[in-house]
């Protein structure tokens, strides 16, 4: 499977900063941040599944436009996979007829443009030859990460938004062929208190987390805050350089 980064920033601005979204082959999204808006209409209509990490706006904001734009050109609903709490938030706060119409009943409840699929931590969904497994995360709202694995067992793990997380590492360490780990670092070290209260990571916390890793995947950093990118990457080099973490780039492609 091919994974293309559509967005990996903590914010927007200019040509390169887009919020979180990963396109798997041509038909699956992991999160639907602002990067989805760069896809062509033809690409948008091919998306059959969206796996969400959590309900925060930077990860879901393109779903309303995606479903409204592509829904009428498709014969199947867009399947939105997420924790039940995340789906409840979408129902209550986005697709509530006030912010946006409820596309789970449009144009009809039996053939809607969008359907919800509840997902539990630890649960796997297989689509074709690709398996998507919900990983535990530790954020201010119910949240998960994802492991993407191919039939050979080659895997890419994505933390989503998370702070330090005891439950994550034993699962990661059991993955025999973990090729890539995409992990967030939303703040620089002087904002450690903010990272703790908003349940993200800063470089010193990242270093403590990576010390628990027993595999040797290539490590990529996501969700850097615009305006602090260079500083945060320098601090990551200082605090966790032994793990050779690199900044995730918009447009980057992984193959597993
Ligand atoms: Zn978040
Ligand atoms: Zn976020």
Summarize pLDDT for 63-116 with one digit per residue, the tens.
999 999 999 999 999 999 999 999 999 999 999 999 999 999 999 999 999 999
Taken as a whole, the chain contains a residue count of 256
Ligand 1 centroid – CA 149 distance (Å): 24
Contact criterion met (CB below 8 Å) for 76 and 115: no
In CATH terms, is domain 1-82+84-118 a member of 3.40.50.12160? no
pLDDT at 15 over 90: no
Q: Which chain residues have CB less than 5 Å from ligand 1, an ion?
A: 56, 161
* Confidence class for position 175, pLDDT limits 50, 70, 90: very high
Ligand 2 centroid – CA 204 distance (Å): 19
Q: Among all ligands shown, which has an atom nearest to the Cα of 54? A: 1
The whole-chain average pLDDT of the chain stands at 98
The domain locations on the chain are: 1-82+84-118, 121-249
- The residue-averaged pLDDT of 127-152 equals 97
**CATH fold for domain 121-249:** Metallo-beta-lactamase; Chain A (3.60.15)
Q: What is the pLDDT of residue 103?
A: 98
Q: Are strands 218-222 and 130-136 parallel, antiparallel or unpaired?
A: unpaired
Residue position matching structure tokens 């989805």 = 36
Q: Are strands 246-247 and 253-255 parallel, antiparallel or unpaired?
A: unpaired
Q: Among all ligands shown, which has an atom nearest to the Cα of 163? A: 1
Ligand 1 centroid – CA 160 distance (Å): 8
Extended beta strands in 159-230, E state: 177-184, 218-222
Ligand 1 centroid – CA 65 distance (Å): 20
Q: Which chain residues have CB less than 5 Å from ligand 2, an ion?
A: 58, 161
Q: What is the reported pTM?
A: 0.98
Cα atoms in the 13 Å half-sphere on the side-chain side of 180 = 21
Cα separation, 245 vs 217, in Å, equals: 10
Ligand 2 centroid – CA 107 distance (Å): 31
Q: Among all ligands shown, which has an atom nearest to the Cα of 19? A: 2
Q: What is the pLDDT of residue 110?
A: 96
- The residue-averaged pLDDT of 211-230 equals 97
Ligand 2 centroid – CA 218 distance (Å): 22
Ligand 2 centroid – CA 56 distance (Å): 6
Q: Among all ligands shown, which has an atom nearest to the Cα of 184? A: 2
Q: What tens digit of pLDDT does each residue of 188-208 get?
A: 999 999 999 999 999 999 999
Domains 1-82+84-118 and 121-249 share a fold: yes
Ligand 1 centroid – CA 143 distance (Å): 8
Ligand 1 centroid – CA 98 distance (Å): 23
DSSP state of 94: I
Contact criterion met (CB below 8 Å) for 151 and 127: no
Cα separation, 108 vs 54, in Å, equals: 27
């Amino acid at each position: 499977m091919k994974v293309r980064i559509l967005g990996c920033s903590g914010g927007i601005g200019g040509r390169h900063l887009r919020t979180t979204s990963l396109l798997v082959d041509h038909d699956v999204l992991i999160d639907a941040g602002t990067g989805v808006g760069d896809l062509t209409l033809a690409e948008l209509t091919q998306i059959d599944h969206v796996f969400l990490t959590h309900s925060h706006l930077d990860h879901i904001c393109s779903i309303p436009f995606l479903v409204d734009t592509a829904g009428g050109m498709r014969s199947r609903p867009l399947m939105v996979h997420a924790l039940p709490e995340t789906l409840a938030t979408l129902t209550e706060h986005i697709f509530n007829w006030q912010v946006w119409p409820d596309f789970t009943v449009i144009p009809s409840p039996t053939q809607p443009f969008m359907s919800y699929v509840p997902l539990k931590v630890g649960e796997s969904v297989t689509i074709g030859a690709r398996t998507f497994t919900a990983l535990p995360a530790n954020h201010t709202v119910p949240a998960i990460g994802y492991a993407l694995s191919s039939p050979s067992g080659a895997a890419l793990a994505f933390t989503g938004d998370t702070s330090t997380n005891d439950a994550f590492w034993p699962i990661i360490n059991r993955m025999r062929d973990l090729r890539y780990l995409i992990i967030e670092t939303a703040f620089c070290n002087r904002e450690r208190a903010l990272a703790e209260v908003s349940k993200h990571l800063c470089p010193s916390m990242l270093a403590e987390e990576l010390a628990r890793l027993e595999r040797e995947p290539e490590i990529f950093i996501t969700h850097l805050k615009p305006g602090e990118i260079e500083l945060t990457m320098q601090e990551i080099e200082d605090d966790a350089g032994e793990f050779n973490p690199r900044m995730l780039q918009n447009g980057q492609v992984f193959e597993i």
